[in-house]
Structure formats: C-alpha cells, structure tokens
Amino acid sequence: MNETAPKLVDNRRARKRHRVKKKASRFLALLLFLTGLILIIFRHDIDYYSIKLRVAALMHGGPAAGELVEIPLSFDMSGKTACGVNRENLIRLSQSRLAVYRKDGTTSLDETVALGNPNIVSSGSRFIAFDRGGKDMLVCSGTSVVERFTAGRPIIDADIGDGGWYAVAEEDPEFRAVVTLYNSYGKAVYVWKLASSYLSAVRVDGSGRMIVAGFDVTDGGLNSTVTVLERTKEEPVVKIELPDELVVSMRAEGGTLTVVTDRRVASFDEKTGEQTAVYEPADGVLLGVSMDPTGNTALLLGRYEVGAGSALVMLDSRLSETGVADTAREVRYLSMDSGKTAIIYDGGGAVYNQAGGLVTETLLSGVKAVLVTHSGRVIFVQTDKMTTTD
C-alpha cells in the first residue's frame, strides 16, 4: 500500500509577519500609554485651544508681518494692576482678578483673587501672581492655578525659573528676610536667612540655583551683596560684594550671572564670582532696564542735562553695545525680548531692533504697558483692549 508523505509547509514568513505585527502592536500600546502619561503630567501646561488656533493660522494664514491687530478685552484696569506674558499670552492682574488672554482675546485662565499689591513674575510655561507686602500667592500655568500659597509672613519678593523651581522671600521677626526655595511640586527644599542685610531681589535660574541680592548702609554708604546659593550646599557658592552700588535687576542663566546696578551692568561667573564683562554708561541716569532670556539687555538712560528725553542702549550677552536710540519723549514702560525693544509714552509706542533702528512707531491711546513675547510678538496693553504686532 502506497502512503502519501505529509507535505511540509514553509510558514516562516507568516510567523515573522506575526511577530512583527505583535511587536508593532506592543509598541503602539506603549506609545499611547506614554502619550497619555505625558498629557496627565503636563495637563496644567497644555492649552489645546491655543494649539487649535495655531493650526488654523497655518492653514488659513494670519495678519501680515508688522500689521497691528486690535483685540477688545474686558478687564477693569482701575486701582493697582500688573501685566506679564506667559509664552505668547497676555497676563493681566488686578487686586481682584487674574486673567490670561490668548491671541484672539479669549481667556485660558480667569480667577478671582484678593491681592492688595499685585505683582507678576513669569518664566517658561509658568508664572507667579503675588501680593507684595501681603501673604497670598498663586503659582499658575497658562490654563490653571497649580497652587494657591499663603505665606506665614508678608512677602518681600518672589521669582520662578524655567524648570518650575520658585523662591519666596518673606519678612521675619528674627532676621531681615528669609528666602525659601520650592521645587515644581511645591515642596520646600532650601531655606536661606539674611541676618546682616536687607533683601532687594531674589532670582531662580532654570536649574534651581537661587540668587539673592541684599543691601546695607555702612558709614553713610549703601553697599550691595549678591549671593549665589545651591540647594545641595549649606554655604553660598559665590558671594559678590558691590560697594556703593544698588542692585536694580539680575538675570542668571547658562552659568552666567548678569547684574544691573544704578551705576553699571556687570557679568559674573556663577561658580567663581569672577567678573567676566562690564558696561558703564558714559552719561545719563538709569531710568529702566529689561533683560531677555538670551542674554540681551536694554537700558533706558535719562539725559536731563540736554533737555527732556532719554536714550535706549542695547547690549548683547557680552555686554557690548550693539545700538543706541535717542528719543525726545518721556518713556513710561520698557520691554525687550528676541532682539526687539518696545517702549511706550503718552500717546503711543515704538519698537526698535538690537542695532537701535526704529522698526515701527504707532499712535495709541490709553496705553498702560508694553510686552514683548519670546517669539518677538509685541503687545501694547490698553485700557479696554490689546494691540499686537508680530
């Protein structure tokens, strides 16, 4: 009897396709899980409506470069107010209300507050609204209040870094000030107490390093001290003495500390305290300063000896003078970012480039403030609207 041998089928390709398909399914499931996890972790920092606006602008186009766009806003600007930016959005803060406005004028955040002396500090995706001299503070993203904070004693100053680290300086009965550093989850991780000097400012860089500026009066002279603090070390990393100077503003990023005083602008190495660059104005009284994250600085110098008006001086990250612009007007507000410096005065505002050239000038009524975003968008804040230009 003849028996037929079983026929072997080569299914190696099918098995390989099955394995590849199975791996792809697992990878897709993992990708979906990680995407969901990221959305949960960063839920406070994602504004889906703004993403929708951005996509719509790419598909249908937006206003031409330099074109002014007016957006009506409903916000009571009476009493004490403050303004700031969160990414590309406008923050408006009064004694009773906090609102974040998108490009189209819709609000991504609208909260009732009670702040006697409202102030805003912003960095990266988050910002702080606080009551200077009071005890209340809000840590916010562009879409939600991440934390409501009540200090034990009156707040002197506060700041937040790009990494979400933030510092709060408070009055203290035993010390002249106590500064506490918090991580992005609101946990206190470091405390510094000032015993011999009064606090003038506190700053936090992206890595969580804290910089504290203090001053004291000795023998009739005012002296300032800038202290760099690392949360993993008990003693200061660097202590910089500035005799006969008052610290006006500071910026710390990329290992470089830039300090603006009433007399000069100086850069220091954050690790050694060594001075690496300095700019001393030839003449003029410092009226205002604005510093952007890339290292540029704009100084507003009053030149009363030659009549009304002032001069804008632009500096790069090496503190080299890149441009000067003279204005015969009394400047009331100054903001710089992304190579643009914007000013406002009675009846209007102007924008200059880093070389000091006039980019645009416009007549505007009721202008309260001007802000430049990280993308270079200029926002003129008015009583009942905002006027913007790219």
Q: What's the CATH fold of domain 282-390? A: Neuraminidase (2.120.10)
Terminal CA-to-CA distance of the chain, rounded, Å? 92
Rounded CA separation 140/157 (Å): 17
Q: Are 71 and 104 in contact, with CB atoms under 8 Å apart?
A: yes
Residues 70, 72, 76, 82: what is their CA dihedral angle, to the nearest 10 degrees? Answer: -40
| DSSP category for residue 306 | G
Q: Do residues 214 and 227 touch, judged by C-beta distance below 8 A?
A: yes
**Amino acid identity of 368?**
K
Alpha carbons 166 and 22: distance in angstroms, whole number: 46
Q: What is the pLDDT along the chain (390 residues), one digit of tens a residue?
A: 555 556 655 666 766 776 767 776 777 766 666 655 555 555 555 555 555 545 555 554 555 556 789 999 988 878 899 999 998 999 999 999 999 999 999 999 999 999 999 999 998 889 999 999 999 999 999 999 999 999 999 999 999 998 899 999 999 999 999 999 999 999 999 999 999 899 999 999 988 999 999 999 887 789 999 999 999 998 999 999 999 999 999 998 888 999 999 999 999 999 999 999 999 998 888 999 999 988 899 999 987 655 557 899 999 999 999 999 998 888 999 999 999 999 999 899 999 999 999 999 999 988 999 999 999 999 999 988 999 987
Domain residue ranges in the chain: 282-390
For 32, the 3-state DSSP assignment is helix
The identity of residue 42, as a single letter, is F
Question: What is the DSSP pairing of strand 310-315 with strand 297-302?
Answer: antiparallel
Q: In the beta sheet, which residues pair with residue 360?
A: 351
Residue 282 — φ and ψ, nearest 5°? Answer: -70, -40
How far is CA 184 from each of CA 42, 151, 220, 293, 342, rounded to the nearest angstrom?
Answer: 12, 17, 42, 20, 32
